[in-house]
Structure 1
Amino acid sequence: MNPFEMVVIIVAITAIASIYRAKHGIRRDRRGNEYQVDNAENERLRHEVKELKERLAVLERITVEKENSLAREIEQLRDR
């Protein structure tokens, strides 16, 4: 393998690694440590999952309690 081919291979490997890191949102700090980027879309999805878990907890509580508390829970949900 001549030096020109070796340089081309090294550049290709570096380019592929850079594309992979950019696609998956992996960044490096000044010390060279890699970290995952949290963007606005991730935060919005986390908030949505949190809200859905809260709703699921309410529905589970409603199904377990007696019928007379069902009307009370529905009124509390309407007030939100």
Structure 2
Amino acid sequence: MNPFEMVVIIVAIIAVSRVLQAKYGGRGVFGRHDRRDGLLNVTPRQQDDAETRRLREEVAQLKERLHVLERITVDKENSLTREIDQLRDR
């Protein structure tokens, strides 16, 4: 087999595999293919949902803490001690 035939066969194999991949939605042997980082994502959907809920709760807590810090820094009167005591009581 000469090099030209080998290149043609390789291109044909790649083309057929791309068509099959497009037809079957890019699903691999191990699970859903994640195009963002090129890694296979094998975590179940429920774990993803639980992780999303946990991250949303964490973001909400961080936003609340940021709001308190903004209020402490912007407040005109000297209420820093009062705010720290309120946070300590939580």
TM class by smaller structure: 0.5 to 0.7
Q: TM-score, normalised by structure 2?
A: 0.53
Structure with greater helix share of residues: 1
- Runs of at least 4 residues off by over 6 Å: none
2:80 match = 70
2:18 counterpart of 1:14: no
Quick one: distance in 2 between partners of 1:23 and 1:42? 19
Deviation at 1:39, TM superposition (A): 1.3
Quick one: distance in 2 between partners of 1:42 and 1:23? 19
Quick one: distance in 2 between partners of 1:17 and 1:69? 58
Quick one: distance in 1 between partners of 2:60 and 2:79? 25
Aligned residues: 62
2:89 match = 79
2:58 counterpart of 1:61: no
Structure 1: gaps spanning 5 or more residues: 25-35
Query: RCO greater where, 1 or 2, for CA within 8 Å and sep 6 or more?
Result: 1
CA RMSD of aligned residues (A): 2.9
Quick one: distance in 2 between partners of 1:61 and 1:12? 54
Structure 2: gaps spanning 5 or more residues: 1-12, 35-44
Which shifted more, 48-57 or 63-72? Answer: 63-72
1:47 match = 57
What are the equivalent positions in structure 2 for 1:1-40 lying under 5 Å apart? 9=17, 10-15=19-24, 17-19=26-28, 22-24=32-34, 39-40=49-50
Q: Deviations over 1:21-65 (max 9, x none)?
A: 8245xxxxxxxxxxx975111111111111101100000000011
